[in-house]
Amino acid sequence: MTIKVLVVDDSALMRKKITALLLGSGDFEVQTASNGAEAIALNLSFEPDVVTLDINMPDLDGLTALAEIMLQRPVPVVMLSSLTSKGALATLEALALGAVDIITKPDGTISLALEQIEQELLSKVKAAAQARVRLKKPSAPGLDAKTKLTAVCVNTAAKQMHVSKPERFRTVIPTEAELPGVVLIGVSTGGPGTLELILRQLPADFPYPLVVAQHMPGAFTGPFASRLNTLCQLTVQEVSSLQRLEVGFVYIARGDADLVFIQRAGHLYLQPKPEDQRYRWHPSVDLLGRSALECCHAQAIIAVLLTGMGNDGAEAFSQIQAGGGRTIAESEASAVVFGMPKELIQRRGATLVLPADKIAQQLQHWVCS
């Protein structure tokens, strides 16, 4: 089936190069727009399956065009962004508005830059064509009273976890710094909005640290963590150096790298490392999960696999579930791209299959039971 793509860029050369790349694969029908106003009009008349949208355009910029597209005729949008700090912040805003993925423009001439990203562009546009567009719903800051945990509930759970914690995990973490467990989250295409939805529902006294591997370029994970930190009651930070795990924190793996658990002086740490070429996607969810199993008993791990293409995380999270840990796969009903959670379900590695808006509630139930 031919995929209809609308290529939006103010550079005529970039439009020409992207169009030639897409047409050359034989899978696409392409039309182009040179500005945001043209993009809005062609989204209605051409009815594309996917839009590639440059952020920096004169007159009507990419963010304004994206907002109108999502209002008039929602469609999967892949953003093309520069690697500048300003570009990263604008791209995160685009993801919040409903864009499903990011492609970064490398520095250099257009021809050379496009050569560096051509395979990424083809794969992400194809994946976007299968994506379910989920618009961000406005919500008041803070947590709903029905979903917020009380301190009594959390403290009781922590005491219960202290008593029943598996022996292997207890020997890793000394009593004075003991953690009841850890939550791993793996996520890719469509993930930023889903993560925000889940993390905003967790209270500041949630008793497990959370570690997130989101497939995202390195220029974006720092701003992404900062954005989440302003929206969540938990403290959210990117892991850019050796970091000891603490309750009350959400740790975001740095993009263009991998993240692993290590033990040091009887404590549990997170350590960034260069991309392991044995794994296809980065930060690797599978590598994160396997390293967690090396340092923690499976019964002390809760693993959540969210929207994304491919199968990253399915194998390691299945091992966690087989060892007595608990796992959640996001359901097809809410996943922007059902690839990663579907793989976990097919391997019989999912303890539960839940829509994104029910996952935080389930996490709270497990840590309180």
Residues annotated as catalytic are: 188, 215, 312
Amino acid at 21: L
Amino acid at 168: R
Amino acid at 138: P
Which helix (H) or strand (E) is 6 found in, with range? strand 3-8
Amino acid at 217: P
| Burial zone of 146 (CB within 10 Å; 0-12 exposed, 13-18 middle, 19+ buried) | exposed
- 3-state SS assignment for residue 327: strand
Phi, psi at 270, each rounded to 5°: -110, 135
Sheet containing 210-214: order of strands: 235-239, 249-253, 210-214, 182-187, 301-305, 326-330, 352-354
| Number of other CB atoms surrounding residue 52 within 10 Å | 27
Residue whose C-alpha is closest to residue 343's, from 291, 300, 281:
281
